[in-house]
A and B are shown apart, each in its own frame.
Chain A
């Protein structure tokens, strides 16, 4: 009995330590923006809004959040639409070497938006006149994310029974109608997952926008955060913490919204 209690105490202590490890930075993020003189420790804030005032007055900070939204939503829309169509085709059409193609794409995609392709991508963007353009960046980010997205969505499509589509086909639905009326609603949780994953990816991506957007007006939050220093070259914790909080809120809201709306549900309709 004592051993059991001791064991339990040990387990809970370990959990508490682990939790603290993750909670303390979050607590800091929650309190520091409201503190007039934040440091690296977690303190009870004195509830000042001075720091927010500074962010509002910052010439680029709020716009950078808008830029982040434009980039991530644009990329998400492109990735969801294209990956759904591609995955449907790959899931339903028998192509020789289909799986090899998918794996090759998956492998290469990590290179596209990785450090290795930095120089060629930059040159490509210059040649195509896509430097300093959100469109260009969205295209490149989509290219990097699409293979993994196709891979994930194809998995969803592979598990949906074909008889749904055949049924729609017999009623005369065209392939695009089948996708819109039947396939997309069936894999909606998967599409939502892809959308969230894409937004989170783009939201946190630093390298690509840093490389391809030199105009400060167009840079997203992840890049602007990098510039939040004091004149002395020290990290400006007041602005940094406040901006960090603002930067994380949209992503948190998105997760909550999507999990509430598209939480995984099974509807039935196929008798097994």
Chain B
């Protein structure tokens, strides 16, 4: 068990591409940490640099109390699950799980006992003699997990651990992984491009963009108070409403309507200032009746989300979305009113959250 500390970590690829730009990050012992971002943001590079598969151009990687910046991957006492699992196709499940122990020159009988023990814990008892080619995607993933568990490493690194599973299995695996990590208590960093996955699994997460960390926080913090408009638009299964607004005393003028200044930004805005007003569709209350501080317009799209509907209003040429519970969805062409929750609405000045 160990904490992971990154100080000023920089990675420049030959050819001048700056994949990581002076990153600072500290992940306490035992935490389940997500690196989230769109493709090409440097999250996988960051994970591979922690693993030692990429050498840092600058800065330090500290695992536990040891600076491992110049140490080979094998000497860092970490274990990694690759996106494609990288199970050795010519070895059966037992051999695959015990491979790390074989490298550590553990006696064969001991190795097999350990593999059997870890395999049984992950429900692989019946499959120990099979080759990876004879396993389903979910089984392969469990073998890959068993293999890192057998290492007794101080930290686990998962590269897109769920992206190779089909949608149904992914949800099960999500719960399973979270439970497993909690039980093992090993510091775990995982990379994902799926915000729902990061929100669901992580204790804390970092949202990355172009080699920079744009926000670090718990899933609730990141979801409720995105630090900037990039995070705001990236997080959430329905995109946040980000609307141009002008400050008018105690109210904001948004798309021709008047809404109260967000609680978080109260007293921090100057009159006449141009800002971006952000509120999630989930934090909007939809009514048929005109209401104070609402955004009013014509219903142009209704999308079924299952237990709720996503209603899109056209308000003075601007699209505003609100989530409406089932059974209360309006018809197309209706005039609707969406009231933002004052304590959940946010104001962004130059792309950054306005808060005390």
Q: Do A and B come from one complex?
A: yes
Shortest distance between the CB of B327 and any CB in chain A (Å): 41
CA distance A70 to B89 in the complex (A): 34
- In the complex, the chain B residue whose C-beta lies closest to that of A182 is B88
Please state if B90 and A170 are interface contacts (CB–CB under 8 Å): no
Please state if B87 and A171 are interface contacts (CB–CB under 8 Å): no
Within 8 A of A (CB), among B39-86: 51-53, 72-75, 78-80, 82-86
Please state if A167 and B90 are interface contacts (CB–CB under 8 Å): no
User: Which residues of chain A come closer than 8 Å to B80, judged between CB atoms?
Assistant: 166-167, 170
Shortest distance between the CB of B92 and any CB in chain A (Å): 11
CA distance A181 to B96 in the complex (A): 11
| Count of chain B residues with a beta carbon within 8 Å of a chain A beta carbon | 32
Number of A-B residue pairs having CB atoms within 8 Å of each other in the complex: 89
Please state if B85 and A164 are interface contacts (CB–CB under 8 Å): no
User: Which residues of chain A come closer than 8 Å to B260, judged between CB atoms?
Assistant: none
0/1 interface trace, chain A 244-272, chain B, CB 8 Å (1 if under): 00000000000000000000001111111
Please state if B104 and A267 are interface contacts (CB–CB under 8 Å): no
- In the complex, the chain B residue whose C-beta lies closest to that of A171 is B100
User: Which residues of chain A come closer than 8 Å to B140, judged between CB atoms?
Assistant: 269, 271
Please state if B74 and A170 are interface contacts (CB–CB under 8 Å): yes
- In the complex, the chain B residue whose C-beta lies closest to that of A270 is B84
| Count of chain A residues with a beta carbon within 8 Å of a chain B beta carbon | 25
Please state if A268 and B103 are interface contacts (CB–CB under 8 Å): no
Shortest distance between the CB of A59 and any CB in chain B (Å): 47
CA distance A170 to B154 in the complex (A): 13
Q: Does A97 contact B (CB under 8 A)?
A: no
Please state if B100 and A164 are interface contacts (CB–CB under 8 Å): no
User: Which residues of chain A come closer than 8 Å to B99, judged between CB atoms?
Assistant: 168, 171, 181
Please state if B86 and A164 are interface contacts (CB–CB under 8 Å): yes
Q: Does A177 contact B (CB under 8 A)?
A: yes
0/1 interface trace, chain A 150-170, chain B, CB 8 Å (1 if under): 000000000001011011111
Shortest distance between the CB of A157 and any CB in chain B (Å): 15
Please state if A186 and B89 are interface contacts (CB–CB under 8 Å): yes
Shortest distance between the CB of B181 and any CB in chain A (Å): 18
Please state if A172 and B103 are interface contacts (CB–CB under 8 Å): yes
User: Which residues of chain B come closer than 8 Å to A140, judged between CB atoms?
Assistant: none
Q: Does A25 contact B (CB under 8 A)?
A: no
Shortest distance between the CB of A255 and any CB in chain B (Å): 23
0/1 interface trace, chain B 192-218, chain A, CB 8 Å (1 if under): 000000000000000000000000000
Can you list 17 A-B pairs, Cβ within 8 angstroms, ordered by A? A163-B82, A163-B83, A163-B86, A166-B86, A167-B82, A170-B73, A170-B78, A170-B79, A171-B99, A172-B100, A267-B131, A269-B131, A269-B132, A269-B133, A269-B140, A271-B84, A271-B140
